[in-house]
Amino acid sequence: MSSKNSNVTIYVFGKEYQVPQNLTILTAMEQLGYRLLRGCGCRSGFCGACATVYRIQGDFRLRTGLACQTPVKDGMVFSMLPFHPATKPQYNIKELQPNLQSLIRYYPEIMRCLQCNSCSRACPQDLPVIDVMAAAMRGDIAIAADLSFDCIMCGLCATRCPAEIVQYYVAILARRLYGTRLAPRSKHLQERLAEIKSGRYDEELAKLANMSTQELAKLYNAREIELEAA
């Protein structure tokens, strides 16, 4: 990186400003005097509130990114897209089967997918969205769920899709179907639930709750620590 005081020229919604280069799109806007309401959430790349599209002057390509995770660059022209108009249908997840029919019932447009890869290219998480859609069209819920797991639902894929699919809603339906219907259930959890229901731990907990700090500390300091698995 060059010296931290050197400035770069950026264009916020097309308007020209000079800012120090050690800033993200988000912090550059704030430093300039923008006080954000929409377009700012976790500020850490987890919530998808600050989806942004930009170009670098002289380059025809339209780039995408999260404003909170994208450093400013000289000649950057950008606009935030803090909301994508998509309607989420209501469904009862417990009544749905983990198959293609469930996806098509709510999102029939998935079959219009051209496999053009615009979605993957727009994804700020670098997810293979094209493969998520291919799996969805095959009704392969497990693959669609696994490949889309890191999705932050920012909406950038949907803004670029020529087939007008809302990939992030399709993907969460696939993940919930996987989680509730296909993922193996845990036996040890059910056993513990039954024990708790039978009141097995009530007496021991009541005893602990009535202990003095000294008695508790003695137990705590002497407690056995399970080894980390190799």
SS3 breakdown of the chain: % helix, strand, coil, rounded to 5?
40, 15, 45
Letters for 82-101 (x = contact with another protein by CB under 8 A, - = none) are ------x-xxxxx-------
Among 11, 49, 161, 163, binds another protein (CB under 8 A): 49
Ordered DSSP codes for 138-200: HT-HHHHHHHTTT----SHHHHH-TT---HHHHHHHHHHHIIIIISPPPHHHHHHHHHHHTTT
What are the structure tokens assigned to 54, written together?
């930009």
Q: Which of 138, 192 has the CB closer to another protein?
A: 192
Residue 71 as a binder of another protein (CB under 8 A): the answer is yes
Coil, strand or helix: which one is 71? Answer: strand
Residue 54 as a binder of another protein (CB under 8 A): the answer is no
- Residues 81, 65: contact at Cβ < 8 Å? no
Give the span between the Cα atoms of 59 and 57, in whole angstroms: 6
Residue 13 as a binder of another protein (CB under 8 A): the answer is no
Residue 114 as a binder of another protein (CB under 8 A): the answer is no
Q: Which of 14, 184 has the CB closer to another protein?
A: 184
Residue 4 as a binder of another protein (CB under 8 A): the answer is yes
Letters for 170-209 (x = contact with another protein by CB under 8 A, - = none) are --x--xxxxxxx-xxxxxxxxxxx--x----x--xx--xx
DSSP run (H or E) holding 15: strand 15-20
Of the ranges 10-18, 66-74, 132-140, 155-163, which one interacts with another protein (CB under 8 A)? 66-74
Site residues (CB under 8 A) for another protein, limited to 119-158: 120-121, 123, 125-126, 128, 145, 149-150, 152-153
Shortest Cβ 195–another protein spacing (Å): 9
- Residues 12, 77: contact at Cβ < 8 Å? no
Shortest Cβ 78–another protein spacing (Å): 14
